[in-house]
Amino acid sequence: MNTPANMSHCFTNFKSVQHIEWICHTCLNAIKKQKTPRFSIANKMGFPQRPKELNLYPLEERLLSLRIPFMQIRQLPRGGQLSVKGNVVNVPVEVQPTINSLPHTLEKSGTISVKLKKKSWHSKSVILVKM
């Protein structure tokens, strides 16, 4: 598609494996009308940069999250996109004990094995990390 030069600031430059940049129908219609799409980067609708302090491992994210979401994610029959099926249950978590135990002193620090299980009586763990 030929886009006007003044609309190039609306694109993210994220391309698929086939080197194609996909845009939604709403944005495409706006670009065809020579208008800036409502939800474009030009309207400051991009994601902010993540601070380096928040580059956490998946287990660290779950240990510090205020809620643990439970949901069924299934692949849609066409296109391979993922979809949530059924209810989403958010379980509140008390993170204060975890926060109080951080940071460890050098004498207390060491490598420990942390297992995250869906239920305490399950034999298998969802995530196993040595910290």
Condensed to tens digits (0 to 9), the pLDDT of residues 60-107 reads 887 778 888 888 888 888 877 888 889 999 888 887 877 777 666 656
Residues 6 or more apart in contact with residue 88 via CB below 8 angstroms: 69, 70, 71
CB 95, CB 64: distance < 8 Å: yes
Domains of the chain: total: 2
User: Sign (positive/negative) of CA torsion 3, 21, 45, 71?
Assistant: positive
- Is 80 exceeded by the pLDDT of residue 120? no
> What's the gap between Cα 91 and its chain centre?
18
Whole-prediction pTM:
0.40
Same domain membership, residue 92 and residue 37: no
CA nearest neighbour of 87 among 71, 98, 110? 71
Same domain membership, residue 111 and residue 57: yes
Same domain membership, residue 120 and residue 59: yes
Q: How many residues are listed for the chain in this entry?
A: 131
Same domain membership, residue 39 and residue 77: no
pLDDT band at residue 5 under the 50/70/90 scheme: low
Least confident of 1-10, 44-53, 103-112: 1-10
What digits encode the pLDDT tens for the residues 11-57?
667 777 788 877 778 888 888 888 888 877 777 777 788 888 888 88
Same domain membership, residue 64 and residue 21: no
Same domain membership, residue 58 and residue 19: no
CA nearest neighbour of 9 among 49, 48, 43, 33? 43
Structural domain boundaries, residue 35? 5-43
